[in-house]
């Protein structure tokens, strides 16, 4: 008797037709799609299997998280369907037509501190729901906060659960991979001491700071300097003219979020009960002497645009320098120095992390507009000279910065 043939996968006709591209990342593209039978519009995240080879667990995690929380909270993007074809994986979700958080703010005619508090209240409500269900998002940032519709009263949605994890409720710290967007990453992620739900509260603090002034608290000229600032919580509410219209209550909320010790950081429910979030937010400090509320939009928009231009210029200079270095290396190919003792070997590069230790780290300036860039090698990410390290500094300052850089690198890459 012949052995029974193994069952073959059933091929089914696709129930969706894809349309215009809404966004793109390193491994996927997000397209508008319509259900052929119902005519309803959704967003389809199309993930290239070849590019995701070896990282399929990230997609499985995203599906598991979305299945667990979909339809459970009005401020969380809902997973509608998921399936695969020969070459791609598809995640079908709600279509957020209202655009990204900061784009909406910039289009407004006015923007007040109370508006920022309302936005963070909605975000924290969703974060608390995730944490109550044992989920940590790990990549909260303005680009991942979308409005459901263009209407003024539209729901704000947390999106992109690609780095999220379902955690063991019995453990406070379980995750050790370096992941996220550098400007929004908590100190414990860099230290590799283990991290969990508190990393989302740190990101909430960074987002709040950004929404009130137009730049992130740890924005620096290089990624290494940014990392050092995060590890030391080195930020301030300056220049004073940018913060004159922001209340002390808002500043206190940010301080409690940006606490370096994750055990001392607010929980999501504690953050929801903070006076800046809980109260009808029109504090006295938010008003001018004449009783008029301070419109933050001109300052926020100006600072954001200035930093976008600055980092674009820095990246251009960096690319030119790399091109010149490459041309110089090509010209010197095969040449030998007659006086090798006079050569300068330069500072050693940090050891590259293992692939699984750099899961999901995104290159960026900590500002909007760099979403979707391809991940770079760790040595390039932590390049201490690429953005003018030491420029305009005394010899003592340079030596002190190099000492701090060495200590930081030992802490970052020393634990394997």
| Domain containing residue 22: CATH number | 3.30.200.20
Same domain, 34 and 126: no
Q: What is the pLDDT of residue 57?
A: 81
Q: Which residues contact 200 (CB under 8 A, 6 or more apart)?
A: 127, 130, 131, 136, 137, 138, 140, 268
Q: How many CB atoms lie within 10 A of CB 267?
A: 15
| Domain containing residue 273: CATH number | 1.10.510.10
- 307 and 242 in contact (C-beta within 8 Å)? no
Q: What is the pLDDT of residue 132?
A: 95
Same domain, 70 and 103: no
Same domain, 25 and 79: yes
Range of the domain at 33: 16-93
Same domain, 86 and 23: yes
Q: Which residues contact 388 (CB under 8 A, 6 or more apart)?
A: 221, 222, 314, 317
Same domain, 74 and 134: no
Count of the separate structural domains present in the chain: 2
Residue 391 lies in a domain: no
What DSSP state is assigned to residue 169?
T
> Which CA distances in Å does 380 have to 180, 319, 350, 361, 373?
17, 12, 10, 13, 14
Same domain, 119 and 155: yes
Rg (CA), the chain: 24
Q: Token match 């979305």: residue?
A: 66
* Contacts by residues 346-353 (CB-CB < 8 Å, ≥ 24 positions apart): 347/384, 347/385, 347/402, 349/379, 350/378, 350/379, 350/382, 350/409, 350/412, 350/413, 351/413, 352/377, 352/378, 352/379, 353/178, 353/378, 353/413
Q: What is the pLDDT of residue 45?
A: 93
Same domain, 224 and 295: yes
Same domain, 261 and 235: yes
What DSSP state is assigned to residue 14?
-
Ranges of the chain whose pLDDT falls below 70: 1-12, 168-180, 280-292, 306-319, 321-322, 324, 326-416
Q: Which of 12, 15, 31 is nearest to 23 (CA)?
A: 31
Per-residue pLDDT tens digits for 308-356? 655 566 566 666 766 767 665 555 454 444 444 434 444 443 444 444 4
Q: Which residues are identified as catalytic?
A: 139
Q: Is 45 annotated as a binding residue?
A: yes
Q: At what angle do helices 248-257 and 198-213 cross, to 10 degrees?
A: 150
Same domain, 78 and 173: no
Boundary of a domain, candidates 274, 301, 328: 301
Residue 49 lies in a domain: yes
Please state the pTM of the whole predicted model. Answer: 0.71
| Rounded-to-integer distance, Cα 249 and Cα 180, Å | 28
Q: Which residues contact 379 (CB under 8 A, 6 or more apart)?
A: 349, 350, 352
φ, ψ at 45 (rounded to 5°) = -90, 110
Boundary of a domain, candidates 67, 93, 119: 93
Same domain, 144 and 290: yes
| Rounded-to-integer distance, Cα 305 and Cα 315, Å | 15
């Amino acid at each position: 008797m012949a052995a029974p043939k193994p069952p073959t996968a059933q091929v089914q006709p696709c129930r969706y037709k894809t349309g215009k591209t809404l966004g793109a990342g390193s491994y996927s593209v997000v397209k508008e799609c319509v259900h052929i039978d119902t005519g309803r519009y959704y967003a389809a995240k199309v993930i290239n299997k070849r590019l995701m080879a070896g990282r399929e667990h990230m997609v499985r995690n995203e599906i598991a998280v979305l299945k667990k929380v979909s339809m459970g909270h009005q401020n969380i993007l809902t997973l509608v369907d998921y399936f695969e074809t020969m070459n791609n994986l598809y995640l079908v979700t709600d279509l957020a037509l209202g655009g990204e958080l900061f784009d909406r703010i910039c289009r407004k005619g006015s923007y007040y501190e109370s508006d920022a508090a309302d936005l963070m209240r909605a975000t924290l409500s969703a974060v608390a729901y995730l944490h109550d269900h044992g989920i940590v998002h790990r990549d909260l940032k303005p680009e991942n906060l979308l409005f459901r519709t263009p209407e003024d009263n539209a729901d704000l949605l947390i999106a992109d659960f690609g780095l999220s994890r379902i955690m063991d409720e019995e453990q406070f710290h379980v995750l050790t991979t370096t992941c996220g967007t550098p400007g929004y990453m908590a100190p414990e992620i860099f230290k590799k001491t283990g991290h969990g739900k508190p990393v989302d509260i740190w990101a909430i603090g960074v987002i709040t700071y950004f929404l009130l002034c137009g730049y992130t608290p740890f924005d620096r000229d290089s990624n290494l300097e940014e990392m050092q600032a995060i590890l030391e919580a080195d930020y301030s509410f300056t220049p004073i003219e940018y913060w004159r219209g922001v209340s002390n209550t808002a500043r206190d909320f940010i301080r409690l979020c940006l606490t370096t010790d994750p055990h001392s950081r607010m929980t999501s429910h504690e953050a929801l009960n903070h006076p800046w979030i809980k109260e009808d937010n029109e504090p006295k400090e938010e008003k001018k002497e004449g009783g008029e509320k301070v419109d933050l939009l001109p300052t926020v928009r100006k600072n954001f645009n200035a930093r976008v231009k600055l980092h674009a210029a820095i990246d251009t200079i960096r690319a030119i320098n790399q091109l010149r270095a490459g041309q110089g290396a090509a010209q010197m190919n095969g040449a030998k120095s007659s006086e090798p003792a006079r050569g300068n070997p330069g500072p050693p590069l940090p050891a590259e992390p293992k692939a699984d230790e750099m899961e999901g780290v995104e290159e960026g300036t900590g500002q909007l507009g760099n979403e979707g860039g391809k991940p770079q090698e760790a040595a390039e990410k932590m390049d201490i000279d690429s953005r003018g390290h030491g420029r305009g500094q005394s010899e003592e300052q340079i030596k002190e910065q190099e000492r701090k850089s060495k200590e930081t690198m030992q802490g970052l890459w020393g634990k394997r």
